[in-house]
Amino acid sequence: MNTRDIMRKAFEMGVVIPAFNIPHLPMLEPVAQAIADDNAVAMIQVARLEWEKFESRSLEHVAGEYARFNKPSHTLLHLDHVPVIDEDNLRVDYLAILRRAIAAGYQSLMVDGSRLSLQGNIEATAQAAALAHQAGLPIEAELGAVMGHETSQQAIPYEEIFKNKMGFTDLEEAGRFVRETGCDWLSVAVGSVHGAIAEGMLDKKKPAAKLDVEHIAELRKALGIPLVLHGGSGIQQEFITRAIAAGIAKINVGTEIRQPFERVLAQSGSLTQAQDAVYRRTGELIRDFLGVKNSANLLLK
């Protein structure tokens, strides 16, 4: 499958491609199996955070596991969040990581310069896009960030953040960003909440987030490229359905499958039971939450 073409088709048809994060290597097999069993098209992805702070080990290890368990005509391998500045405020050699992913066989890439100034983000993303395009791969970028939810103390109530669109992707900035970077897809901040990574929050339920669907529609009209929603776990379902129709073509899901794996493994000590919990939850998300069972019939015509 050609990832760029699949994403464009999903965008034009109002179908979403789920992207499931793999913070623990044994999660990959049940995720891939659930995608195939429900005849869906979905991405399997890993972020730098997940080999630095969890147990996916490295992007190469994930690619190796993917080679064992991928399901042709159903799964795609994507490199999620490679930050320019990471969650610990440290500079990252992001271009070197992207080169490693290209060599390892990833089918699409993502660079995250959202902690930089607008100009800094544009410059870093343009460099990453040139590298990806030279390898024939599409690249995802990020602009905007919903504030207040990636630390253990939420300084600002979510409702206030949403009402005032704090950190939301600015329409005018987004137009300039896409023009000057050449990115293929854009992760936008429209109300979702990234998975908490602060100590003491890993096993906590995320806030019930909403989405500014009108803002999504405006971004789609202005940019004309597939839009991506990070922090897909925990969003109220009515907003998911409307957001897909408005222009969201890819939704990242991490917390919703990570927590069952960790919880069952801790309770039972059985890796098989933990994998089974991931398989069941992935299937539920595909069928009941995102409504993409049999999406392969649409996207692969």
Query: Could you give the residue numbers annotated as active site?
Result: 80
Token pair recorded at residue 26 = 């044994």
> What residue has token string 């109530």?
157
Question: What is the C-alpha separation between 151 and 153, in angstroms, rounded?
Answer: 5
Query: Alpha carbon of 254 to those of 81, 138, 150: distances in Å?
Result: 12, 22, 14
Residues 6+ apart with CB under 8 A from 222: 171, 174, 175
**Which amino acid is residue 163, in one-letter code?**
K
Cα Dmax for the chain: 51
Residue 64, classified by CB atoms within 10 Å of its CB into exposed (0-12), middle (13-18) or buried (19+), is middle
Cβ pair 223, 187 in contact under 8 A: no
**Which amino acid is residue 181, in one-letter code?**
T
**Residue 20: how many other CB atoms lie within 10 Å:** 30
DSSP assignments along 188-231, one per residue:
E-SS--PPP-STT-TTSPPP-B---HHHHHHHHHHH-S-EEES-
